[in-house]
Amino acid sequence: MSTTIPIVHSEEVREALHEHRPVVALESNVITHGLSYPHNAETAHQVEAAVRKGGSVPATICIEDGAIRVGMTAADIERFASEGGIPKVSSRDLPVVLARGGRGATTVASSLVAAELAGIPFFSSAGLGGVHRGAQTTMDISSDLIQLTRSKVAVVCAGAKMILDLALTMEYLETQCVPVIAHGSDDFPAFYCASSGIRAPHRIDDEDLIAKVVATHWAAGHPGGVVITTPPRDEDAVDPAVAEAAINDALVQAERDGVTGQGLTKYLMHAVDRATGGRTAQANMAVLISTAEVGGQMAAAYARYQSDHS
């Protein structure tokens, strides 16, 4: 007897997929574990509006009653934003939560799993997880990168967080044969910093050509995704030198406080935000929205390509 994964599409998402209209998957972890209420709910609605502005239908994903819900209603977003204690569910945790009939907020990794199961080829997030600083000894590598090699979903993002080792992150993506395409810049961006200082392997500003690259990648038999980066807008970007200084101070504090493992990322992000007077948190919100709009544009271009070549 085979086991099937229960997937519940919202009416809007179900109709869009049936009509072959573009859809962009979104994670729900930013609602439950990002900003405080009510800013988290407001930002989630702004992110969905940005996807629509880009020409696509948003599908924010969560886990509830042991099912993957693809497309959260306004009431769903309000509940997840205001209720405490909703667990973060990564791809490692997904089968356990589903089998137990539980609920949770999806991360990048689990959203990639859900998006592929739901038939959505595009996903948008402000930033990827990556290889952590000191990973040579800790082996701390985000499951986002692992899942990218397994799920046929294109990820539109503003690179990866600057608290990571971005040079090793890029090396990992190269080793795993994940194409990285920079849109609108020559460099791999660093979340709320316009540049990581690392040149992207490919720059393509033509959205229709990017759609063809994604289709060609999958036509060649590759099992994983494609990373499409877009930098933060000039008015939203944080100076890399300011961010790096704050990160270095936060790393010293984390070592002093004995913070390691899964708690380190959140600790560092909060410490950097305090050090920059809230500047990075504001940039985080802005990048979520601007990236979602580009994600909507990319998904729309891919839908056009598929329609023209069907």
pLDDT per residue as tens digits for the range 103-112: 999 999 999 9
Q: Which residues are catalytic?
A: 27, 161
**Residues whose CB is less than 8 angstroms from the CB of residue 216 and which lie 6 or more positions away in sequence, other chains included:** none
Between residues 170 and 271, the one the model is more confident about: 170
Would you tell me how many other CB atoms lie within 10 Å of the CB of residue 194? 21
| CA torsion through residues 97, 86, 236, 259, sign | negative
pLDDT score for 40: 92
pLDDT tens digits for range 212-261:
999 999 999 999 999 999 999 999 999 988 888 888 888 888 888 888 77
Give the position of tokens 């629509």.
52
> Which pLDDT does position 269 carry in this prediction?
80
**Predicted local distance difference test score (pLDDT) of residue 1:** 56
What is the C-alpha separation between 75 and 274, in angstroms, rounded?
32
* pLDDT greater than 80 at residue 94: yes
Provide the token pair at 184: 């609108």
Pairing of the two strands 23-26 and 7-9: unpaired
Q: What DSSP character marks residue 225?
A: -
Q: At a CB cut-off of 8 Å and minimum separation 6, what does 220 contact? A: none
Q: Read off the pLDDT of residues 103-162 as tens digits, 9 standing for 90 and up.
A: 999 999 999 999 999 999 999 999 999 998 888 888 889 999 999 999 999 999 999 988
DSSP strand pairing (193-199 vs 187-190): antiparallel
Rounded Cα distance between 23 and 61, Å, is 12
Per-residue burial over 1-15, b if 16 or more Cβ lie within 10 Å, else e, is: eeeeeeeebbeebbe
- Predicted local distance difference test score (pLDDT) of residue 135: 87
What does the domain layout of the chain look like in residue ranges? Answer: 7-303
Cα 217 to Cα 220: distance, rounded to the nearest angstrom? 5
Query: Percentages helix, strand, coil for the chain, rounded to the nearest 5?
Result: 50, 20, 35
Token look-up 């890029």 returns 170
Residue 266 has pLDDT above 80, yes or no: no
pTM recorded for the entire structure: 0.94
Q: What is the rounded distance in angstroms from the CA atom of residue 93 to the CA atom of residue 116?
A: 17
By three-state DSSP, how is residue 238 classified? coil
Q: How buried is 94 (Cβ within 10 angstroms: 0-12 exposed, 13-18 middle, 19+ buried)?
A: buried
Is the separation of the CB atoms in 277 and 230 below 8 Å?
no
Correct CATH for 7-303 of 3.40.1790.10, 3.40.50.10810, 3.40.50.2000, 3.60.150.10 = 3.40.1790.10
Residue 156 tokens read as 């539109």
Q: What is the pLDDT of residues 44-88, one digit of tens each?
A: 999 999 999 999 999 999 999 999 999 999 999 999 999 989 999
Element (H or E) spanning 269, and its range?
helix 263-275
